Structure 1
Amino acid sequence: MKYKIIERECFQVVGIKRVFSCANGENLTEIPKMWTDVHQDGTNELLFKLNNGDINGVLGVCVDKRSTQTQLMDYWIATEHTGATPDGLMNLEIPASKWAVFEVHGAMPDAIQKVWKQIYTEWFPSSHYKHAGTPDLEVYSAGDPWSADYYSEIWIPLI
């Protein structure tokens, strides 16, 4: 797994949010359906146009709520955006953090799900880092996400 460690100040994302259950892997089947919806209804294209922050692309933002609501997570499809929140979208502030940024190569959703699994089964157990407990990011670049040579990233906040 190729990764780098970076630091970022807090920043804002704008987009849409849905709540998913993590029980029985529901999130692994339902989140790809959410992506299909945003590709079909034009939201993905709108978010690429609104992207004016340092992270180039559309984001999947994972907000783990299991500490307060059993087996639930918020999943945002968003983009880094400075300025007012456009009508029809919501905003979320991502706290300043040290991040492990993992490269993902391959077609969605299999490639990103494989790297998520490797992070938690291989990387975290062998690293000295712990998860910071703030939102994780999936960064999707422009291009065909179903292509075998598609590039994306997973950003994990660290302590």
Structure 2
Amino acid sequence: MLERLNEAMEYIERHLDETVDVAEAARIAATSEYHLRRMFSALAGMPLSEYVRRRRLTLAGAEVLADHDTLLEIAVRHGYGSGEAFARAFRAMHGVGPGEARRTGAALSSQSRMTFRLTVEGSSDLRYRVVDKPDFAVVGFKARVPLVHSGPNRAIVDFVRGIGPEDRQRLEKLADQEPHGMLAVCDDLDPSRAEGTELDYYQGVITSASALDAHTGASVLPVPAGTWAVFTTSGPAPQAIQNLWRDVFTEWFPSNPYRSRPGPEILRTRLSPGGTEAEAELWLPVERERGRPS
């Protein structure tokens, strides 16, 4: 998997001076475009689109300092339709405009080329199972919130606190299959999974269509039948849960014949009385990678 991923990175590097076809990069990596974006974000700590942008601006910075071409020629070569757009992007990365950088020989930032290597650390022992589930529905209360990679998500905390105990009890009576109880469900995430991008967040339960007939007043997310990988963890909250998400994409997916597929991500959490410790069960939609052994 890592060898193919590095071949995809080489393809991206060769095409920085034109439109990078992410679908072709995914084909080289022998995976889906959706999974490539998610895998890259988890491994690299930034969205693939951000990496491509930073690599282009790194090369553009070297060309600005070389003083061989006009700034507009450099801008166009790296995909910017105007000098103004190029100057804004250049300043955002390097902290100085291209004209000033050329005049003063200012120090610039550099995004190094990325390659991926397997490091054997034994840092985590991921416990998981694979479940085939028929279609079901998420029913609950819904909010549009920003994505936060580390630390508490204040928008989610405030949203959950606003749900009354009677509403919770009414929802919990509808839960008729696993994962049981009140759940956190994330859907419609931006493919880049960049910090601050928005997603649909549900506080709700998993239920069948027959149970839905008796319920009104909440949002409903239909989920088709499919395969799910289920992971469990325990430890300090929220670090243990955020580390589980990281380990799944940096360790489990590269080591197993599965890839992520579009669908909601479901988290069942039970907190200690003081709220400092958590036991969690994470359900992710997956599919088998074609051509990889079991």
- Bigger Rg, structure 1 or 2: 2
Give the corresponding residue for 2:181.
57
Say if 2:283 is the partner of 1:155: yes
SS of match in other structure, 1:130 = strand
Q: Is the 8 A contact 1:60 1:75 kept in 2?
A: yes
Deviates more, 1:4-13 or 1:52-61: 52-61
Q: CA deviation at 1:153?
A: 0.4
Give the corresponding residue for 2:128.
3
Give the corresponding residue for 2:225.
96
For 1:27 and 1:129, locate their aligned partners in 2 and report how far apart those are by CA, in whole Å: 30
| Correspondence 1:119-138 to 2 at 5 A | 119-138=248-267
Q: CA deviation at 1:87?
A: 2.8
Higher relative contact order by CA 8 Å / sep ≥ 6: 1 or 2?
A: 1
For 1:23 and 1:109, locate their aligned partners in 2 and report how far apart those are by CA, in whole Å: 12
Q: What is the TM-score with the length of structure 2 in the denominator?
A: 0.46
Instruction: Select 1:37's aligned residue among 142, 162, 179.
Output: 162
For 1:26 and 1:147, locate their aligned partners in 2 and report how far apart those are by CA, in whole Å: 13
* Percentage of identical aligned residues: 27
Q: CA deviation at 1:147?
A: 5.6
Give the corresponding residue for 2:213.
84
Mark the CA change 1:21 to 1:32 in structure 2 (over 3 Å): closer, same or farther: same
Deviates more, 1:95-104 or 1:56-65: 56-65
2:147 maps to a residue whose letter is: C
1:158 maps to a residue whose letter is: V
Q: Is the 8 A contact 1:58 1:141 kept in 2?
A: no
Instruction: Tell me the matched-pair count.
Output: 155
Please, which runs of 5 or more residues in structure 2 have no aligned partner? Answer: 1-125, 288-294
Q: Is the 8 A contact 2:149 2:242 kept in 1?
A: no
2:198 maps to a residue whose letter is: L
User: Greater helix share, 1 or 2?
Assistant: 2
Give the corresponding residue for 1:13.
138
SS of match in other structure, 1:50 = coil
Deviates more, 1:90-99 or 1:121-130: 121-130
| Correspondence 1:106-125 to 2 at 5 A | 106-125=235-254
Q: Is the 8 A contact 2:134 2:226 kept in 1?
A: yes
Q: Which runs of 4+ in 1 moved over 4 A?
A: 23-27, 141-145
Q: Is the 8 A contact 2:150 2:242 kept in 1?
A: no
Say if 2:201 is the partner of 1:75: yes
Q: Is the 8 A contact 1:14 1:85 kept in 2?
A: no
2:183 maps to a residue whose letter is: L
Please, which runs of 5 or more residues in structure 1 have no aligned partner? Answer: none
For 1:130 and 1:56, locate their aligned partners in 2 and report how far apart those are by CA, in whole Å: 25
Q: Is the 8 A contact 2:231 2:282 kept in 1?
A: yes
SS of match in other structure, 1:124 = helix
